[in-house]
Homo-oligomer: A and B are copies of this chain.
Amino acid sequence: MQKLRNLRTTQQRTIILEELRNRKDHPSADEIFSRVRKRLPRISLGTVYRNLEILTQLGEIQELKLSGSLKRYDWNPNKHYHIRCVNCDRVENAPIAPLNQIEDDLYQATVFEIIGHNLEFTGLCPDCTQKDQETRQPPRASRP
């Protein structure tokens, strides 16, 4: 996590943001790296990652954490949703009914052939909620 104070406007940061806004797609860090390198041949991948992190925290861009490599296994093969604790990564079932018609809602609006969907909630589990509150200085602080 960064501190986000006394940020500086570097060429690298500026150009990364520009390249991301120029083409309105959803590139990976590595793709952004390739684009930016055309203008700044000496930039490194690490710098790209660090700046994307900062720009995300500033709210200038959005970081999509797509369903990817972080795998968990569920004894229950039936469709259901989950909630994951952002602090300790604990996963539990989210007691909410499957959105059976949501794919139909999208059907007419996209050129994709829809295969499925996944809904994931994030939150703080009871244990981490407690620790979170204990850590805070002012008594009745609340999350934004």
Contact = CB atoms under 8 A, between A and B. Distances in A.
Interface in A78-126: 78, 82-86, 91-92, 94-96, 102-103, 105-106, 109-126
Interface string A46-75: 000000100010011111111111111111
A115 B124 contact: yes
Interface residues of A, number: 65
Interface string A114-144: 1111111111111001000000000000010
B75 A24 contact: yes
Given A63-B72, A66-B82, A94-B110, 19 more contacts: A20-B73, A24-B75, A25-B91, A26-B91, A28-B72, A32-B73, A59-B77, A64-B91, A66-B70, A67-B70, A67-B120, A68-B71, A83-B112, A96-B109, A112-B129, A113-B143, A115-B124, A117-B119, A118-B121
16 contacts: A24-B75, A26-B72, A27-B72, A28-B73, A61-B73, A62-B76, A62-B78, A64-B71, A66-B71, A66-B72, A66-B84, A69-B70, A92-B112, A110-B123, A112-B126, A117-B119
